Amino acid sequence: MVGEAYFSDADHLHFSFTSTITNKTSLSSSARSSFSSDESPTVTPTLHRNRWDPRFAAIKAAADGNLQLSHLKLIRHLGTGNHGRVFLCQLKDHDGAAFALKVIDRDLLNGKKLSHVETEGKILSMLNHPFLPTLYARIEASHYTCFLIDFCPNGDLHSLLRRQPWKRFSLPAVRFFAAEVLVALEYLHALGIVYRDLKPENVLLRDDGHIMLSDFDLSFVADVFPTVNLLRCRTRSRFAGGGCFGFAVGTDDDEEVVVPEFVAEPVTAFSRSCVGTHEYLAPEVVSGDGHGNSVDWWAFGVLIHELLYGTTPFKGASNDVTLQNIVSSSRQMKSLHVAEAGISEAKDLIDKLLVKDPNKRLGCTKGAQDIKRHPFFDGVKWPLIRQCKPPAVAGWTVAKRRPVGQKEARWPCESTAVVLERTR
């Protein structure tokens, strides 16, 4: 065959690369692309260890602590992001451990984008949270940089939203997804990480139905100074509804108690970069006056609005019109009506998050703690959120957790090098 530009298995052996396995314990194509206009600062990684994650044991058993591309088999292409492509892959001798492999071709990127890749890699190495991806290995092979991370088989929230009968989620489903995204943002901000790319396309869905944020190449890191405050609040005597997402109901037995409150919010974060997705940009980003941690809470308000109504609140006929709507003096609310119990609380939360002055925006000062206390989240038992049963949503299947060693259906595959070269 003339002109075939594939690597053979023999050629694959000539790759010169090294890999680093992190000590801690999916991506689909985006309908709306993110953009950037500035570099992100350097991040110092903090490694963690989770001895109970069986995927680390599988990697160490297969690669003897030195994972290379030759140990992986690519199964299929999952999607293409801002800087690279993502593949579903497995260890060649371990069918039960599925991963997502994000592949960045450095030859196709300029210096600014290469800096974003480095930022994402260093931030991934800092993360140790169930709603954020685990970086199992970083592999440098020829002109490729590869991140081996968690595979989320249920796709992303944007695709699931489009499959709903009315292109919107029920209020209980919105509360569930919003609560988990809030917890993930709380953890990122506690590390000083300002996310800057929140949108349904970047909220992945794990096999157990819980969420996982993805794509950190537009993030930046700032100083954070944790504090512990004493908070006076009233206890909730009982809850209407089951599980950890019941509505809180007060009774005559309520009493005031003093509880400690941990706050870690990067309130001094500042950047002039113009990054993100048009419909999710905060006014201070559009104006170019500089922005900080509050951009994530604006985007959080836009996210809740889109999940609840099926559209973003400032969307215009073009990107320019959308940006004009965002910075205009009046809100461009859609004429949509949702009749569900709790909708007034949801609208109030959106209003408080979509305040154009970032200093008055909910979450700007105390971050997630202020937002958790909003009536929309009344009844959420935050310490138990990882154990909550995901809501019934059309168009997806929540699988029972399968032991990593258990075999699953096999797909035909090619050598890793062949697929990488073919999709350049």
* 368-414 confidence digits (pLDDT tens): 999 999 999 999 999 999 999 999 898 887 766 554 444 443 333 33
* Structural element, H or E, at residue 85: strand 85-91
Q: Which residues are annotated as a binding site for ATP?
A: 102
Active-site position among 9, 53, 95, 197: 197
Rounded-to-integer distance, Cα 263 and Cα 124, Å = 23
Compute CA 185 distance to the chain's CA centroid, rounded to the nearest angstrom: 9
Tokens of residue 351, six digits:
């209003």
Domains 9-153+402-422 and 157-387 share a fold: no
Q: Is the pLDDT of residue 3 over 60?
A: no
b or e along 225-262 (b: 16 or more beta carbons within 10 Å of the residue's beta carbon)?
A: eeeeeeeeeeebeebeeebbbbbbeeeeeeeeeeeebe
The CATH H-level superfamily of 9-153+402-422 is: Phosphorylase Kinase; domain 1 (3.30.200.20)
* H/E segment holding residue 99: strand 94-105
The crossing angle, in degrees rounded to 10, of helices 343-353 and 294-309 is 150
How do the domains of the chain map onto residue ranges?
A: 9-153+402-422, 157-387
Query: What percent of the chain has pLDDT above 90?
Result: 55
pLDDT at 417: 43
pLDDT tens profile 66-108: 888 989 999 999 988 878 899 999 998 777 789 999 999 999 9
pTM summary value: 0.82
The mean per-residue pLDDT over the stretch 243-256 comes to 61
Can you give the pLDDT at residue 235?
Answer: 62
The number of beta carbons lying within 10 Å of the beta carbon of residue 284 is 20
- Name the pLDDT band for 225 (thresholds 50, 70, 90): confident
Beta bridge partners of 98: 90
Q: What is the pLDDT of residues 315-345, one digit of tens each?
A: 999 999 999 999 986 555 554 566 777 899 9
H or E stretch at 120:
helix 111-124
- Residues in binding site: 102
Examine the pLDDT at 419 and tell me if it is beyond 50: no
Give the pLDDT confidence of 15-54 residue by residue, as tens digits.
333 455 554 433 334 468 887 765 444 444 444 445 567 8
Of 207-221, 246-260, 355-369, where does mean pLDDT reach its minimum?
A: 246-260
157-387 CATH pick, 3.40.630.30, 1.10.460.10, 2.60.320.10, 1.10.510.10: 1.10.510.10
Which has more pLDDT, 38 or 310?
Answer: 310
Query: Is position 197 annotated as part of the catalytic site?
Result: yes
| Residue in this structure with the two tokens 């004429």, named with its chain if needed | 335
Q: Is 70 exposed, middle or buried (0-12, 13-18, 19+ CB in 10 A)?
A: middle
Q: Which of 184, 179, 180 is nearest to 197 (CA)?
A: 184
Contact 97/151 with Cβ under 8 angstroms? Answer: no
For 8-22, 44-58, 234-248, which range has the lowest pLDDT when averaged over its residues? 8-22
**pLDDT on residue 242:** 54
Give the mean pLDDT of 181-201: 97
